């Protein structure tokens, strides 16, 4: 299982990469493995400002649908439109081509409350 040390993580299995005040968000390698083959990513919240832990979309796999939770508060400024025609990118490369949204953070301090790689490793075993 791949848990990059340079990212932050949530207990709900989202990862966060930060550049300035913009956070790139996706689901972890563990999460995509648990879900199985991802067939659809639904995110209709671009342009909305959302609070930490609010649902910003969902991921549909062959056997289940799972909500996606905001790791940080802010405005969703971009959706990875490549996932519309290629949702399996989340399975193949969850930390690269499989990213989901970019958020202009309204409270960057929330990052400090997320798990580091060691904390996430401890969570998932």
Q: What is the pLDDT of residue 113?
A: 97
In the block, residue with structure tokens 């969850």: 94
**Closest C-alpha among 55, 30, 60 to residue 42:** 60
- Whether residue 73 contacts residue 104, with contact meaning beta carbons closer than 8 Å, is answered with no
Q: What does DSSP assign to residue 44?
A: -
DSSP 78: E
In order along its 125 residues, the chain shows pLDDT tens digits of 899 999 999 999 999 999 999 999 999 999 999 999 999 999 999 999 999 999 999 999 998 999 999 999 999 999 999 999 999 999 999 999 999 999 999 999 999 999 999 999 999 99
Question: How far is it, in rounded angstroms, from Cα 100 to Cα 116?
Answer: 20
Fold of 8-124: OB fold (Dihydrolipoamide Acetyltransferase, E2P) (2.40.50)
């Amino acid at each position: 299982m791949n848990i990059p040390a340079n990212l932050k993580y949530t207990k709900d299995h989202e990862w966060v990469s930060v550049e300035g005040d913009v956070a790139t968000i996706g689901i972890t390698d563990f999460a995509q493995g648990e879900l199985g083959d991802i067939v659809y990513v639904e995110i209709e919240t671009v342009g909305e400002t959302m609070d930490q832990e609010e649902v910003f979309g969902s991921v549909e796999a062959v056997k289940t649908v799972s909500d996606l939770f905001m790791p940080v508060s802010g405005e969703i400024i971009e959706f990875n439109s490549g996932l519309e025609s290629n949702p399996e990118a989340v399975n193949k490369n969850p930390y690269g081509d499989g990213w989901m949204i970019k958020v202009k953070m309204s409270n960057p301090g929330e990052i400090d409350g997320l798990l580091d790689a060691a904390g996430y490793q401890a969570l998932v075993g």
